[in-house]
Amino acid sequence: MSIDPDAPEYAWQQLAALIEDRIAGGKYTRRLPSESSFSQEFGLARNTVRRAMEDLRERGLVVTIPQRGTFVKRDN
């Protein structure tokens, strides 16, 4: 899956959906790749990646720990 610049959804929305799919599919089970890695993989600005991560945090799918990274939030 890739980011479609002609899609009606913003790039950050597409990226958030892609990451959510990867979490649901078991590709990401603990720590997510860095913002820089996502930026390079999808050819997006870091601010776009940050907005996608913010959306995922707001929806309770991930948690960011400063100086450590972003992690899949586990249900306890």
Can you give the residue range of the structural domain that contains 68? 11-72
Answer yes or no: is 2 within a domain: no
pTM of the model: 0.93
pLDDT of residue 64: 96
Contacts 24+ apart (CB under 8 A), 38-42: 42/2, 42/3, 42/15
Separation between Cα atoms, residue 17 and residue 11, nearest integer Å? 10
**CATH number of the domain encompassing residue 54:** 1.10.10.10
Residuewise pLDDT in 10s, the chain (76 residues): 789 999 999 999 999 999 999 999 999 999 999 999 999 999 999 999 999 999 999 999 999 999 999 999 987 4
pLDDT of residue 75: 73
**Number of domains into which the chain is organized:** 1
